[in-house]
Structure 1
């Protein structure tokens, strides 16, 4: 592998800033500048255990699950040890010379690679859909066109050169969608366009040499805030989900703030409803104390909303429909091969700010879905099915597998470290054993109709999973986003994006899993399960400027790595390497990008930047294949002071065009 072109010198100046405030407003209601809703006094790692460490490395973990020395030396630890001593192997997969961090208004790819735009916001995907006209948008047109701010992307087989691509559309940025937009007085037309711009798109592509091309096909489909969903699982029909529009609690119209997701072994798409909290108005008018407390725990506060949807539909008004908010924040499942099917909201996987969900088939044939709750001091979860997966592609097997997420056990994670408490001082300095690592347990919250949380019914556990996790003492994490199992090893990788409130006044301080106070760069966690309910873990990456001693790149020589900050989405290639997209690389004065990280051998921890997205954009939803990479460039040009009336980006069309979120293809 050629050395990094900038080896041995600082790449870009470190900045204190990060994501543009306008993005924070429209994506999450600027939640990072507000008090985190997790005000529970559940024990976090630093308080959970009192460790006694001797020279032989034995430790006591108090109330944390006891793990034998043999279990602590699991496959994960063995692999990491082997990685530090193994002989060098030739680099496999997509070889490239890393791109340099930059601030260009373009997608920058390595030398020897080409790129093309697969699809842009507003491009027609249904037969008869009108061509996009920025200044003549309608709700009817948007229902037939590619939605806004594409995030997660999946590419599934169809036949021959035809593939099915599925994309999430996370949120709308109205100031960048409409000229002359008045945030205080949106029109009903603008609101209805936004409803249609949320959700998902299913698009058939023809692949081959060059850029994949959109084909009009019977599978092409838009899922919006007007699409009917079926509610399934143990909380379906609960009084907590009933509204005047749906007195059964089994039917919901729409999905929103869909962030990341995953492809199931049976060929469906899982998508996470994330920042639902700021779509609902007038939480301050709710008087019932129990309801008020639940809304607070999910960050639902205040009066009118950013988008003012409550002016046009009462379901966005908590004072009139307090249960409507409970109908969002779920994992949804979509069958991209059946355009007539109703998508499903799975209550068995719990309700919180889902980044996404990713499924792995366990040794006994059951499936586990791994999930992160993307907010400061929130938790990591997993669900394990009761039933086993059926092999084969018969209609019967597929129908059975599409019911696996309806019945099973929901767990939340509690972590412990193996270093003396005084060695975790909040600076990010490695402890004396040279690794941030330890053990942990999955704590059962509920199994179908049975709750394991005192004082909460099973329905309450699923609908208010955050409160259940508080009650059992789960570990408060630094914004757990994408959580994915490795398709070959089964080891789980979690992107912990950042947490500037870690260790501040009244907030949980650093622990071995989250070792830096005021953490603005994040880390990547690697976890190996030793049983259904126990695991070992280590931090693969502690992100940030490689010149900063409070960073760690898997033990690799930091003078040779690409700097990385704010890890967000993860994926794997056919050779087993980890790929990471970032959200807020402006914390390192550079555009966001896509990075490869080998997990084994001498190259373990060697972060290499494969591409960067335009200024103001976020890199999302990577698809990594041997001869094709797809990346979602979300919210290009979304910088403070910019708008549709004052665009600072003209990507992807150039000239004086408006910026448009798009899917980019890259190939050699």
Structure 2
């Protein structure tokens, strides 16, 4: 189905998107230079960073770098011997979602997520010999970094120290607010009121509110809770659906930090899987878990203003056969991004309506309200109260018949048209025995490549409950006849497993890929090279490969400065050859040239045109 962009350009919703992104928002027609005029880079298995010859890059903030919270900071220990206390004030591992908050023309705050840890690299003893100290270090290596950066004649550099600098991690005190705060399912021995919690971790994608705060998303929290395997038989339906099952844990935190023991504290996982709001401008502020947005393996929290001035938040649930969600606030947003606006809007995300999406055949869709007492979401269906609906949002989506998707991840809103795009990273179990078959929105069985789906809200209003949808790209290798690939233009560069997805203010769409380490360069992925970042012009359908990363890495996290002359991008887990981290790294990027010569480190890049022009041209 073709979406009517001419209508969208005339709507007040498009104007609202411009207001949200700021005065730097310009149309592609006004962009100096030729759109996608850069030299596309080839798919390659080179162990390094490949960018167009017109561009250059610098490594800015690798794992273990100082955050700048004090004048004297611990240095990174190349052998992994930094203490837990050191890690609490250093860059975390596995950089992910990221945003740039401008403080002026050449200065700003970079706020980024740290998704998970590679225990083989984090400690000298590798993934063995767990202790309480190791648990603390691991939790300190996840969460969020707030750092200050500035542009100098020599390039971008970190400001050290900085009054804004901060690490938010797995032990940071946080508030719990919204309808689920205080629920019996949120109460624990350490917090009988159910309104506070220590920490955030498994932080993947993110969002930014219209009032200038950062939304970090707790994704694969389930893998950190565990217990003795023999206790798995007592797991509840909800625990199984969310994956928090004794014996299935990824790491044995539960042996050294009791709150991770499901047999002793079964409610503790209910306090994770939320969108967490952080004020990046106030390092003393307490982060807040916003329960009105629902609990899931949270992926993306992309904001869009409604026609009447409220805020909609789009979210994916990153697992096979899970749902796409939307929250629409009850209250209107007070305009502005200063401290007064942040105070005025501090409760906006605590009240509103949560929906799950149904994608029907024929290119139409519906937002299905997840409301206690309606549509079977009631005590008879296992939901005691409204808090239960939010804590078990997945189960509520089952009741209303939302569409089970192929791993919905990042969501991005076009700054001029208001179209909403989502990456569906893939689902190799689609159509398998006992699993859901292919459908209109997820058209391929055994979907190993993923794709990008988009929709347009009715009346160009984010508050609408109906929408029109189509596929922007059905990804994969077009030379494989069985792949079912469809790109929006015949000359589009191929990619697989799209994950990160960000629009810049000019309307260019930056696509980042996450093919699994064991599959890179092999079999059906042989022609796609290492994970990459591509740039698309949705108005023409052109897609060009812009950057390719080192061996084993994922490309994720992307933001373009307001003047569009710098692109920050994260290189996550370089050298990862197996998803369980058990094999030796196949890269030493960025510190070494040969595998084994240095511990690979996730890091942030600053990418610019050599002539200082606008990125993407």
In the superposition, the TM-score normalised over structure 1's length comes to 0.80
Cα gap change, 1:220/1:299 in structure 2, threshold over 3 Å: closer, same or farther?
same
Matched, 1:168 2:113: yes
Partner of 2:184: 239
Question: Which consecutive residues of structure 1, in runs of 5 or more, have no partner in the other structure?
Answer: 1-71, 81-86, 419-437
3-state SS of paired residue (1:296): helix
The one of 586, 594, 599 equivalent to 2:533 is: 594
Partner of 2:17: none
3-state SS of paired residue (1:610): strand
Matched, 1:547 2:479: yes
3-state SS of paired residue (1:120): coil
Partner of 1:443: 368
Counterpart-to-counterpart distance in 1, 2:299 and 2:311: 19
Shift of 1:158: 1.2
Q: What's the Cα RMSD here?
A: 2.5
Cα gap change, 1:576/1:304 in structure 2, threshold over 3 Å: closer, same or farther?
closer
Partner of 2:25: none
Partner of 2:587: 649
The one of 559, 563, 576 equivalent to 1:623 is: 559
Partner of 2:217: 272
Partner of 1:99: 41
Partner of 1:427: none
Contact 1:150 1:663 in 2 (8 A): yes
Counterpart-to-counterpart distance in 2, 1:297 and 1:461: 14
Partner of 2:89: 144
Contact 2:62 2:602 in 1 (8 A): yes
Deviation per residue, 1:521-555 (Å, 9 max, x gap): 00100100115100000000000012235444444
Matched, 1:313 2:295: no
Contact 1:360 1:487 in 2 (8 A): no
Residues matched between the structures, number: 563
Partner of 2:58: 116
Matched, 1:662 2:590: no
Contact 1:152 1:620 in 2 (8 A): yes
In the superposition, the TM-score normalised over structure 2's length comes to 0.87
Contact 1:348 1:405 in 2 (8 A): yes
Shift of 1:243: 0.4
Matched, 1:566 2:517: no
Partner of 1:494: 422
Contact 2:534 2:546 in 1 (8 A): yes
Contact 2:301 2:315 in 1 (8 A): yes
Deviation per residue, 1:216-244 (Å, 9 max, x gap): 21100000111001101111111110000
Matched, 1:211 2:139: no
Counterpart-to-counterpart distance in 1, 2:173 and 2:199: 6
Counterpart-to-counterpart distance in 2, 1:281 and 1:110: 46
Question: Which consecutive residues of structure 2, in runs of 5 or more, have no partner in the other structure?
Answer: 10-28, 610-617
Contact 2:577 2:584 in 1 (8 A): no
Partner of 1:370: 314
Partner of 2:23: none
Counterpart-to-counterpart distance in 1, 2:578 and 2:207: 32
Counterpart-to-counterpart distance in 2, 1:607 and 1:370: 24
Superposition misfits of 4+ residues, deviation over 6 angstroms: 77-80, 449-452, 641-645
Shift of 1:485: 2.0
Partner of 1:607: 543
Cα gap change, 1:284/1:534 in structure 2, threshold over 3 Å: closer, same or farther?
farther
Counterpart-to-counterpart distance in 2, 1:174 and 1:517: 35
Counterpart-to-counterpart distance in 1, 2:415 and 2:228: 42
Counterpart-to-counterpart distance in 1, 2:440 and 2:5: 17
Counterpart-to-counterpart distance in 1, 2:52 and 2:7: 34
Between stretches 450-459 and 212-221, larger displacement belongs to: 450-459
Shift of 1:399: 1.3
Deviation per residue, 1:99-154 (Å, 9 max, x gap): 10111111110011111001110011121211111333101111111111111111
Contact 1:541 1:551 in 2 (8 A): no
Cα gap change, 1:546/1:323 in structure 2, threshold over 3 Å: closer, same or farther?
same
